[in-house]
C-alpha cells in the first residue's frame, strides 16, 4: 500500500545528500566570523605552513588524472611546501599556448581545493578576459583598445564580465589592471597592455575596471609599481630602468596607482625595474627595495592591501641572484612584499625564507603580518566557509551571448583610422552565385585582393581569423603568411603578387610577448617593431605599391613610426581574434570607424588622432 508519509520521510532524509556541498559565495566581505577564523587559523599554522602561505606557484589548467606526474607536483606544492595560493594558466611550449576549457579549469581548481588542508586563493593573468587562457569565454581586446574607445564605462564592463566568469571557474584574483602609463613608444613589454599614455585617462580606466571587477566579486591588482611604461627593456629578459625624476614620477607614473588605491584596489604588484629617483642605490630593483615597497607604497601612499612581487623567475631578478636564488625571496619579503610570486625553485625559496625567520633576520611578527593579510583575503572571499565552485553553473555564467557581443563591440569601437588616401577603403565583396555553399565554381571576380600577414611565426594562429573573415567576403583573395625567417626568401614572390593586385592589405601582428628574443643590428632583446627581413619586405611593398596598400597594425600602433611613407593606416591595438574580425568589418565598410589614438606615434600622428569613416550604406 502506498504511504505518502513514507515518501515524504525518505525525501527529507535524502535532502542533505544533495545540499551538503557548499559553494563559494560571490560577494567579497570580511565579517566578524571571518576575522575570528583568521586569528584562529594563524594560531594553528606551523612556522613551515606560515612560510608556505606567502608563496604562489603555477598551476596549468588541463585535464589531469590524479596520478599524472604534473598533478602530483601540484599536490607536492600543497603537501610538502604548504603553498597557500596558485596562479592559473595553461600549458605553454614557446611559442605555442595551449588553451583549455572552462570545465577543465574549474574541475582542476576544485580538486586542488579539496586536496589542500587550508583554503587556496587562485589568481590569473586575465588581461584579455578569460579568453587568452580558456576557450568558450568572453573575448576582449587589449587594454589600449579599450582606451581607444574613449569610454571608461567599457573598462567597467570589462572588469565586471571578467569577474563573473573568473569567479565561476574558481579564480578569485586577477593580476590586472595594468596601471602603467605607456609613454615610451619603444616599450617592448607594456605597449598595448596599457590603457594609453595620458596619466589622467589611464587613471580613469584603471578605477573603472576596479569598480566593475569588484561588483562581480573579483579581487584585482594594479601593476607594475612604481611604473613600467617609460622603459625600453623587457624585464623578463633584463633590468628595465625608469629614468624620470621624482616630480615626473609623481605626475605620471604614480598617478594611476594613487587612483587605484583610492578606488580600493586589493593588491599592488611591484615590478622588476630600477627607479634611481626613488632608490639611487646601484642595482636597486623595486621589487626588493625597502625604500620603494615599504617606504613609498606602504607608508607614503598608505596602501593597506596585499603587496605582491612580479614573478620571481623573471630574468631581471634572477640574473642579480644567479648565485643564490633563495636570497631573492628573502630580500623581496624583507622589502615589504606580502606574497612572493612564482619563485624559480619553490623548495630553495621556502628553505631560505624559513631559515631567515628562524635566525631572526626576519621577525616572526613580520611574517605574521603578511600571513594575516593573506588569510583575511581568503576569509573575505568566504573560502573559510566554502572552497568549491558549482560546475553545473558554468553553462549559464560563462560565455553569455550578450557578454560576447559586448566584447566584440568594444573591439569594433576601438578601430582607429590614422591615415587614408581614399584609394583603398572600402574593399568590395566578390560577387558569386550560389550563396554560402561550401563547394561552388568561381564565376565572377570584381577585384583582385592580396593580403600579406606578417607575424613572429607562421605556425601561430595569428592571422587565421582575419583570413577566414576575408575569404568569406572575397573567395579568390590571395592570402600570404610570412615571418622573419621566411621574409627574405618569399620577398620576390610577394612583390610579384602585390604588383598584379588591385588592392593590398598588410596585416602586421606585433604585440608585447613576455621573454620574446629578437636579434637586430647585432643586439639581442625584445621588440614589438617589425625588424630585419620582415621590416625590409614591408618597406619594399610600400615602395612598390604605396597608393593601393592598407597597413593594419594588429597590435602595436607605434609600427608606423618606422614607416612614415604609409598612406593608409588602421590600428586595432590588439591581436585577439575579436579584433581581427572587427578589422575585416572595417575594411569592407560594414561598421563605422571612430576610434582615436590613446598614444602618440612619433613623427606620424598625435594622441587623439582618428578619422571617422561611416559604414557603407
The Cβ of residue 219 has, within 10 Å, a number of other Cβ atoms equal to: 26
CA 98 to chain centre: 15
Is residue 547 classed as helix, strand or coil in its secondary structure? coil
Residues in the chain: 617
In sequence order, what are the residues at sequence separation of 6 or more whose Cβ sits closer than 8 angstroms to the Cβ of residue 9?
A: none
Q: Which residue has the cell 633584463?
A: 238
Is the separation of the CB atoms in 225 and 173 below 8 Å? no
Is the separation of the CB atoms in 287 and 332 below 8 Å? yes
Burial of 367 (0-12, 13-18, 19+ CB in 10 A): buried
Point out which residues pair with 506 in neighbouring strands. 452, 551
172 carries an active-site annotation: no
Dist. CA 372–CA 95, nearest whole Å: 39
What does the block give as the cell for 246? Answer: 621624482
Catalytic residue among 236, 272, 594, 596: 236
Is the separation of the CB atoms in 155 and 214 below 8 Å? no
Catalytic residue among 310, 338, 483, 562: 310
DSSP label at residue 306: E
Distances (CA, A) of 448 to 268, 315, 496, 547: 52, 48, 13, 15
Q: What single string gives the DSSP state of each residue in 446-511?
A: S--EEEEEE-S-TTSSTTHHHHHHHHTT-TT-EEEEE-TTTHHHHHHHHHHHHHH-SEEEEEEEE-
Q: Which residue has the cell 602586421?
A: 508
User: Which one, of 265, 307, 382, 372, lies nearest residue 29 by Cα?
Assistant: 382
What does the block give as the cell for 566? Answer: 604609409
What b/e string do you get for 164-177 counting C-beta neighbours within 10 Å, with b at 16 or more? Answer: bbbbbbbbbbbbbb
Is residue 549 classed as helix, strand or coil in its secondary structure? strand
Distances (CA, A) of 154 to 146, 167, 521, 565, 579: 7, 20, 41, 34, 15
594 carries an active-site annotation: no
Question: Which value, to the nearest 10 degrees, does the dihedral of the CA atoms of residues 89, 94, 96, 97 take?
Answer: 10
Angle of helix 102-115 versus helix 152-169 axis, rounded to 10: 60
Pairing outcome for strands 240-241 and 569-571: unpaired
Is the separation of the CB atoms in 458 and 509 below 8 Å? no
DSSP label at residue 338: S
User: Which one, of 85, 82, 77, lies nearest residue 45 by Cα?
Assistant: 82
Dist. CA 289–CA 301, nearest whole Å: 16
User: Which one, of 487, 591, 503, 612, lies nearest residue 550 by Cα?
Assistant: 503
Catalytic residues: 236, 310
Amino acid at each position: 500500500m502506498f504511504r505518502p508519509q513514507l515518501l515524504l520521510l525518505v525525501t527529507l532524509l535524502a535532502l542533505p545528500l544533495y545540499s551538503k556541498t557548499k559553494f563559494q559565495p560571490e560577494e567579497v566581505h570580511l565579517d566578524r566570523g571571518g576575522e575570528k577564523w583568521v586569528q584562529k587559523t594563524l594560531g594553528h599554522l606551523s612556522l613551515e605552513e606560515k612560510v608556505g602561505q606567502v608563496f604562489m606557484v603555477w598551476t596549468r589548467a588541463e585535464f589531469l588524472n590524479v596520478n599524472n606526474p604534473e598533478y602530483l607536483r601540484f599536490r607536492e606544492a600543497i603537501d610538502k611546501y604548504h603553498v597557500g595560493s596558485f596562479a592559473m594558466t595553461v600549458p605553454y611550449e614557446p611559442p605555442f599556448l595551449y588553451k583549455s576549457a572552462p570545465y577543465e579549469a574549474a574541475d582542476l581548481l576544485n580538486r586542488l581545493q579539496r586536496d589542500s588542508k587550508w583554503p587556496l586563493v587562485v589568481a590569473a593573468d586575465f588581461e584579455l578576459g578569460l579568453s587568452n587562457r580558456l576557450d568558450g569565454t568572453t573575448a576582449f581586446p587589449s587594454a589600449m583598445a579599450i582606451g581607444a574607445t574613449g569610454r571608461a564605462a567599457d573598462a567597467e564592463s570589462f572588469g565586471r564580465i571578467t569577474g563573473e566568469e573568473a569567479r565561476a571557474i574558481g579564480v578569485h584574483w586577477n593580476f590586472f589592471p595594468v596601471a602603467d602609463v605607456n609613454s615610451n613608444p619603444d616599450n617592448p613589454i607594456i605597449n598595448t597592455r596599457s590603457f594609453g599614455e595620458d596619466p589622467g585617462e589611464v587613471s580613469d580606466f584603471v578605477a573603472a575596471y576596479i569598480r566593475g571587477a569588484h561588483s562581480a566579486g573579483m579581487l584585482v591588482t594594479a601593476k607594475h609599481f612604481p611604473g613600467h611604461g617609460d622603459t625600453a627593456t623587457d624585464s623578463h629578459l633584463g633590468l628595465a630602468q625608469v629614468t624620470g625624476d621624482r616630480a615626473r614620477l609623481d605626475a605620471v607614473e604614480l598617478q594611476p596607482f594613487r587612483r587605484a588605491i583610492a578606488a580600493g584596489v586589493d593588491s599592488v604588484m611591484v615590478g622588476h625595474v630600477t627607479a634611481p629617483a626613488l632608490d639611487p642605490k646601484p642595482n636597486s630593483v623595486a621589487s626588493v627595495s625597502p625604500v620603494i615597497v615599504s617606504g613609498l607604497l606602504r607608508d607614503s601612499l598608505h596602501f593597506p592591501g596585499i603587496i605582491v612581487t612580479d614573478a620571481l623567475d623573471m630574468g631581471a631578478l634572477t640574473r642579480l641572484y644567479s648565485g643564490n636564488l633563495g636570497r631573492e625571496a628573502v630580500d623581496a619579503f624583507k622589502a615589504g612584499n606580502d606574497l612572493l610570486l612564482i619563485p624559480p625553485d619553490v623548495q630553495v625559496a621556502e628553505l631560505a625564507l624559513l631559515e631567515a625567520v628562524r635566525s631572526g633576520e626576519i621577525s616572526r611578527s613580520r611574517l605574521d603580518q603578511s600571513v594575516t593579510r593573506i588569510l583575511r583575503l581568503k576569509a573575505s572571499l568566504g573560502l573559510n566557509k566554502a572552497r568549491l565552485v558549482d560546475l553545473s553553473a558554468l553553462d549559464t555564467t560563462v560565455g553569455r551571448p550578450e557578454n560576447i557581443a559586448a566584447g566584440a563591440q568594444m573591439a569594433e569601437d576601438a578601430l582607429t583610422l590614422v591615415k587614408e588616401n581614399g584609394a583603398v577603403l572600402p574593399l568590395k565583396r566578390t560577387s558569386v552565385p550560389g550563396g554560402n555553399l561550401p563547394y561552388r565554381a568561381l564565376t565572377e571576380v570584381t577585384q583582385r585582393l592580396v593580403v600579406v600577414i606578417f607575424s613572429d611565426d607562421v605556425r601561430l594562429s595569428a592571422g587565421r581569423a582575419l583570413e577566414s573573415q576575408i575569404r568569406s567576403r572575397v573567395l579568390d583573395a590571395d592570402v600570404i603568411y610570412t615571418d622573419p625567417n621566411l621574409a627574405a626568401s618569399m620577398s620576390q614572390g610577394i612583390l610579384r603578387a602585390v604588383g598584379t593586385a588591385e588592392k593590398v592589405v598588410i596585416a602586421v601582428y606585433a604585440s608585447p610577448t613576455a621573454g620574446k628574443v629578437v636579434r637586430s643590428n647585432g643586439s639581442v632583446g625584445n621588440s614589438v617593431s617589425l625588424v630585419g627581413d620582415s621590416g625590409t619586405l614591408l618597406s619594399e611593398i610600400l615602395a612598390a605599391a604605396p597608393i593601393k596598400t592598407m597597413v593594419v597594425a594588429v597590435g602595436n600602433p607605434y609600427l608606423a613610426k618606422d614607416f612614415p611613407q604609409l598612406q593608409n593606416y588602421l590600428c586595432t591595438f590588439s591581436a585577439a581574434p575579436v579584433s581581427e574580425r572587427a578589422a575585416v568589418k572595417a575594411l569592407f565598410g560594414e561598421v563605422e570607424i571612430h576610434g582615436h589614438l590613446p598614444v602618440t606615434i612619433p613623427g606620424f600622428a598625435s594622441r587623439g588622432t582618428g578619422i571617422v569613416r561611416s559604414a557603407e550604406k
